[in-house]
C-alpha cells in the first residue's frame, strides 16, 4: 500500500509541475520566509498568453503593508520599450500623475529589460525602502519607495484594470 501511495503522490506532483501549478512549500530565494500566496496565474490578452504571475509574501499571506515578491515569467518576447509603455499606461489609468514625472520612464527603464519567452522579471518590495528588480535572478536595479508603490499598484491596487488577476494573485477566490 505504501508503494502505491508513493507512486500516486509522485504522479500528482509531476502532473502539477507539467500543468505549471506551483506547490511552493519553499521560501522564495530572494526573500527567505516568503511563500507563494496562491498558484501562479496566467495573464492573457486577446486570448494570447503574455506571462504567468506569482506573488510571494511572508508566511504566504499578502498584506500591502508588508514585504512581497512579484514574479512575471513571460510567454513571449517583448521589448523593454513595450513593457515601459504598458506600465506607464496602467499607472496613468490608476490616476498616477505619469505626465508630471517624465523621470519615471527612465527609472523604470533602469530596472526592466527586454524579455524572451521563458524569461522572468522579479520585483522584491520592502515597504519604506522601495524595491529591487531582477532579470533571470540577476539584479537590474532599484526603485524608491514612492515609485515602487505606484508600479506594483498595476497588479495589486483594488482599482487595477485586471481585477481577476489581482484576486488570483492575492489568493481571493470567488
Write down the pLDDT at residue 19.
46
Is residue 17 included in any domain, yes or no? no
- Whether residue 3 is contained in a domain is answered as no
Residue 63 lies in a domain: yes
Q: Are 45 and 91 in contact (CB under 8 A)?
A: no
In a domain, residue 51? The reply is: yes
Whether 8 maps to a domain, the answer reads no
Domain that holds residue 133: 25-169
Q: Report the pLDDT value the prediction gives residue 154, as an integer from 0 to 100.
A: 97
* CATH code, 63: 3.50.70.10
Mean pLDDT by 10 residues, the chain (174 residues): 58 47 66 91 93 95 94 97 97 96 95 97 96 96 96 96 95 78
3-state secondary structure of 111: coil
pLDDT at 26: 78
80-93 and 145-156 helices, crossing angle to 10°: 80
pTM (two decimals): 0.83
131-148 pLDDT per residue, tens: 999 999 999 999 999 999
Does the residue 141 lie in any domain? yes
Amino acid at each position: 500500500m505504501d508503494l502505491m501511495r508513493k507512486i500516486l503522490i509522485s504522479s500528482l506532483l509531476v502532473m502539477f509541475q507539467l500543468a505549471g501549478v506551483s506547490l511552493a512549500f519553499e521560501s522564495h530565494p530572494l526573500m527567505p520566509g516568503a511563500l507563494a500566496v496562491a498558484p501562479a496565474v496566467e495573464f492573457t490578452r486577446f486570448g494570447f498568453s503574455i506571462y504567468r504571475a506569482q506573488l510571494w509574501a511572508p508566511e504566504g499571506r499578502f498584506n500591502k503593508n508588508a514585504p512581497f515578491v512579484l514574479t512575471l515569467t513571460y510567454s513571449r518576447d517583448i521589448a523593454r520599450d513595450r513593457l515601459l509603455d504598458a506600465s506607464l499606461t496602467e499607472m496613468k489609468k490608476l490616476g498616477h500623475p505619469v505626465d508630471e514625472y517624465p523621470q519615471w520612464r527612465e527609472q523604470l527603464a533602469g530596472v526592466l529589460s527586454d524579455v524572451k519567452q521563458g524569461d522572468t522579471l522579479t520585483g522584491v518590495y520592502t515597504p519604506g525602502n522601495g524595491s529591487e528588480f531582477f532579470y533571470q535572478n540577476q539584479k537590474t536595479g532599484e526603485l524608491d519607495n514612492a515609485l515602487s508603490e505606484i508600479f506594483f499598484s498595476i497588479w495589486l491596487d483594488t482599482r487595477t484594470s485586471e481585477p481577476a488577476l489581482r484576486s488570483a494573485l492575492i489568493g481571493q477566490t470567488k
